[in-house]
Structure 1
Amino acid sequence: MTTATVTTDMSAERVSELDNSHVFHSWAAQDLFNALPVVSGSESSFTDYEGNTYLDFGSQLVNLNLGHQHPRLVRAIQDQAEKLATIQPAFANDARSELARLLAEAAPGALNQVFFTNAGADANEHAVRMARLHTGRQKVMSMYRSYHGATTTAISMTGDPRRWPNDQGDPSVVHFFGPYAYRSAFWAADEAQECERALAHLEEQIILEGASTIAAIIIETVVGTNGILVPPAGYLPGIRALCDKYGILYIADEVMVGFGRTGTMFAVENFQAQPDLLTFAKGVTSGYVPLGGVLISDAVRDSFATTVYPGGLTYSGHPLGCAVGVETFAIFEDEQILEHTRQLGDEVVAPFLAGLADKYEVVGQYRGLGLLWAIELVTDRDTREPLVPFHPTAEQNEPMLKISAACKAAGLWPMLQQNRIHIAPPLIISEQDLRRGLEIIEDAIKEI
């Protein structure tokens, strides 16, 4: 027997030693990865053991919408823990019930019930399970440029290179090309033509796959990690129309873009699209407690009115997470988070990035909305050749590594993906800190 001691005053060296010895890190070669020991966080920044403070321009994993150590979220956890720390999902709980009400009222259309999960991946897994049981069909369609999670069906639906080592997963997933006018797969001349051709491509694929075999189409409302791809006007209503035409369910994956990230509570509000199922996680608690879920239409819910839904989780609707979710809604209203997000996106980020595009040939395109943006870097504006290739090797990725190093040296922790710089700071960031972060990014671009 050994005695375990929890201490709050470890040295950075001890933290790293234990991490390297015992923590198995995701998406990493274990012997080639060294995690930065972080000692504290506050609002839009976090601090390491050396006293270096970094602006968090990725909101950790685009989940820290209300920033580090928001006192009201911390208090919500403390108050709930003192009242009732946990209760299994077969019992009714006030925090769970109230969060479900708030979610249903905020969601578009008739998404009136919530199945709570632990995170985004299992939310997508359960949404697909519901769609399959509701329709009696098996296939699911998703975009090549997408990320839906790392569990079996979720990683199969994912379109990026993280799927490749996991392709022994769900064989009933079919991928298609979504709209991406800057690198159009359809030789489109503009956004309108891209929308039209992308929808025509998808409909043809539905027909050839057999519409009667397809349960659902799942789409990130704004594609996140794989490009910050904002759908052209008419695309998501076109998806809705195709789903109605062929009896397919439309699943909106809002794990990353929900809870204010695009300037509306749910991103589909920007595009006048009504999904049958909507998945969420991340911003519902800003990551303070793991929580996710599926918002369910009345029609899908009624499939399980007298038939048992064959799924569940021990921590479904955990009271600590739900209490934070309830407080999140209150903070959004009291601190006018949506208005703040839209203002910073429209009045600070968009004009600043327009200026970058005017000054630097390496900036091929910028795009986004709210506080979710991408700067796409190229070696040639005419050919649009990316600064680094798709899925680059470490050697090929050197220009992006230089950008990363320059940002960190100046006090900003960047979010870099492929040949892109993503901008996704906490929604509570001040205009001053946002401008400072953008200026650091500009200085880093100058390095290359």
Structure 2
Amino acid sequence: MTLIDDAARTYELDRRHVFHSWSAQAGLDPMVITRAEGSYVWDGEGNRLLDFSSQLVNTNIGHQHPEVVAAIAEQARKLATIAPQYANDVRSEAARLIAERAPGDLDRVFFTNGGADANEHAVRMARLATGRPKVLSRYRSYHGGTQTAINLTGDPRRFPNDAGDAGVVHFFGPYLYRSRFHARTEAEECERALAHLEQVVELEGPQTIAAILLEAIPGTAGIMVPPPGYLAGVRELCDRHGIVLIIDEVMTGFGRTGAWFHSATDGIVPDLLTFAKGVNSGYVPLGGVLLGERICDHFAHRPYPGGLTYSGHPLACAAAVAAINVMDRDGVIDNARSIGTEVIAPGLSRLAERHPSVGEVRGLGVFWAIELVSDRDARTPVAPTGGGSAIMSDAVSTAKSLGLLPFANSNRIHVVPPCTITPAETREGLDLLDKVLGRVDDLIAEGAV
């Protein structure tokens, strides 16, 4: 069979038997991916595309890294699986490597299968440790698709699953471009966002609040980097009222922002920190909760009522050990930081100057968002929050036709390539984005909004 014949069969079987996430099934037309390497993937027709999405912002060391693939194969030959109640060398080593890179006293790892269940368990730990029911999380956030995690999520994907009985209260976080606080500067936005959160805590009753859960930088919801002092202000508010601070680094962790963990760059040590995705580039599902002394001490002599059959799965942990060692040896964290500072930031700034459809660009490392608007002065988004539009659909299809695989959400295109991407590859992607944005400009001028 030819490559195209194989791809056609793959597509036929997918449409007949696979039920896809977050989608109305009848209208789906999924791209067939046949192989991947480094920063690129190949579709069913043999076309090569530059992966500016890192899939779901998780292939931090790129696709098919030979050392990580070899580590998985070697572990499969040695010990393919073992239950979590037993000590295992590769699980222990993965926990050591992760804890050594975590801020402060976050020295214990509870392994999960991904980010959603990491947040589920972090919230359970906080509620048990405090004896309080409520958890606060921000609008414009995403914490996972399981029941508690989706209720904690602050974007419209929550709506069909939210019965209003999960003990979750949402608040507005800092987002200067679309400020809810009429702020004009980052300092004003920070001060007013913290005052708003303090008022929510007061009105909800601090004695009823187990935890505040925040993404270190909201990812899927828009890559809004918190202003200086905001995370520290939340930490102080939690300390004042005995509230557990949970920082979600599922998307930001392991190099994405040019640091092992973004919260550490602000000098913040949460009580619990959740991770997944970049810990092993998603080669085998793995996530976890990093615990500090406060929560560990609570469970020192009482059982923690939770667990997973595949907690710390050997194949996933072997991939994590190999990935972390590669990131250390090859300077992947430094590469992500320098790519962001020297290539992406100035490149996106030039695109913003050239294209009236660009309302704002923002980000760090290899973690950026381009906000698209039909009217720059009015900041009118080309698609609603949590929704789509003809312009966004056209932008995505145009990018793919040019050989660029984008990450798009609402009215944004996110620039989130692997942390291992080269300067030349990054410039290639930005050049393709230039053409995509030219197409968006034309559509807006034609009145296609």
TM-score bracket relative to the smaller structure: over 0.9
Tell me whether 1:442 sits opposite 2:434 in the alignment: yes
Name the amino acid aligned to 1:51.
Answer: G
The DSSP-based 3-state class of the residue aligned with 2:56 is helix
Within the candidate set 107, 110, 116, 1:115 is matched to 110
For residues 379 and 332 of structure 1, the distance between their equivalents in structure 2, rounded to whole angstroms, comes to: 40
- Sequence identity percentage: 56
Aligned to 2:394: 402
Within the candidate set 223, 228, 235, 2:230 is matched to 235
User: Which one is further off, 359-368 or 8-17?
Assistant: 8-17
Q: What per-residue deviation string (whole Å, max 9, x for no partner) do you get for residues 83-102 of structure 1?
A: 11111000000000011111
Q: How many residues align?
A: 438
Name the amino acid aligned to 1:75.
Answer: A
Name the amino acid aligned to 2:179.
Answer: S
Name the amino acid aligned to 1:392.
Answer: G
The DSSP-based 3-state class of the residue aligned with 2:255 is coil
Q: Is the 8 A contact 2:386 2:409 kept in 1?
A: no
Q: Structure 1: which 5+ runs fail to align?
A: 1-7
Within the candidate set 77, 82, 85, 1:82 is matched to 77
Tell me whether 1:254 sits opposite 2:281 in the alignment: no
Aligned-residue offset at 1:118: 0.4
Q: Is the 8 A contact 2:142 2:221 kept in 1?
A: yes
TM alignment of 1:291-306, pairs within 5 A: 291-306=286-301
Aligned to 1:286: 281
For residues 222 and 347 of structure 1, the distance between their equivalents in structure 2, rounded to whole angstroms, comes to: 21
Within the candidate set 46, 49, 54, 1:51 is matched to 46
For residues 383 and 65 of structure 2, the distance between their equivalents in structure 1, rounded to whole angstroms, comes to: 37
For residues 92 and 212 of structure 1, the distance between their equivalents in structure 2, rounded to whole angstroms, comes to: 38
Aligned-residue offset at 1:390: 2.5
Q: Is the 8 A contact 1:156 1:170 kept in 2?
A: no
Aligned to 1:414: 406
Name the amino acid aligned to 2:316.
Answer: G
For residues 114 and 382 of structure 2, the distance between their equivalents in structure 1, rounded to whole angstroms, comes to: 33
For residues 342 and 285 of structure 1, the distance between their equivalents in structure 2, rounded to whole angstroms, comes to: 19
User: Which one is further off, 265-274 or 183-192?
Assistant: 265-274
TM alignment of 1:182-221, pairs within 5 A: 182-221=177-216
The DSSP-based 3-state class of the residue aligned with 1:422 is strand
Q: What per-residue deviation string (whole Å, max 9, x for no partner) do you get for residues 96-118 of structure 1?
A: 00111111111000001000000
Tell me whether 1:129 sits opposite 2:104 in the alignment: no
Aligned to 1:327: 322
Q: Is the 8 A contact 2:135 2:213 kept in 1?
A: yes
Q: What per-residue deviation string (whole Å, max 9, x for no partner) do you get for residues 268-303 of structure 1?
A: 122221110000000111110000000000110010
* TM-score under structure 2 length normalisation: 0.96
The DSSP-based 3-state class of the residue aligned with 1:401 is helix
For residues 72 and 357 of structure 1, the distance between their equivalents in structure 2, rounded to whole angstroms, comes to: 39
Residues 1:376 and 1:77: Cα distance change in structure 2 (over 3 Å): same
Q: What per-residue deviation string (whole Å, max 9, x for no partner) do you get for residues 178-207 of structure 1?
A: 000110000011110000000000000000
Aligned-residue offset at 1:32: 0.8
- Give the CA RMSD over aligned residues: 1.2
For residues 39 and 390 of structure 1, the distance between their equivalents in structure 2, rounded to whole angstroms, comes to: 32
Within the candidate set 220, 223, 232, 1:225 is matched to 220
Tell me whether 1:428 sits opposite 2:426 in the alignment: no
Name the amino acid aligned to 1:292.
Answer: G
The DSSP-based 3-state class of the residue aligned with 2:303 is coil
The DSSP-based 3-state class of the residue aligned with 1:346 is helix
The DSSP-based 3-state class of the residue aligned with 1:55 is strand
Tell me whether 1:181 sits opposite 2:176 in the alignment: yes
For residues 18 and 342 of structure 1, the distance between their equivalents in structure 2, rounded to whole angstroms, comes to: 41
Name the amino acid aligned to 2:408.
Answer: L
Aligned-residue offset at 1:387: 2.1
For residues 62 and 412 of structure 1, the distance between their equivalents in structure 2, rounded to whole angstroms, comes to: 15
The DSSP-based 3-state class of the residue aligned with 1:54 is strand
Within the candidate set 82, 87, 90, 1:92 is matched to 87
* TM-score under structure 1 length normalisation: 0.96
For residues 229 and 147 of structure 1, the distance between their equivalents in structure 2, rounded to whole angstroms, comes to: 13
Aligned-residue offset at 1:383: 1.5
Aligned-residue offset at 1:342: 0.8
Q: Structure 2: which 5+ runs fail to align?
A: 441-449
Within the candidate set 259, 266, 269, 2:264 is matched to 269
The DSSP-based 3-state class of the residue aligned with 1:11 is helix
Aligned to 1:342: 337
Aligned to 2:365: 370
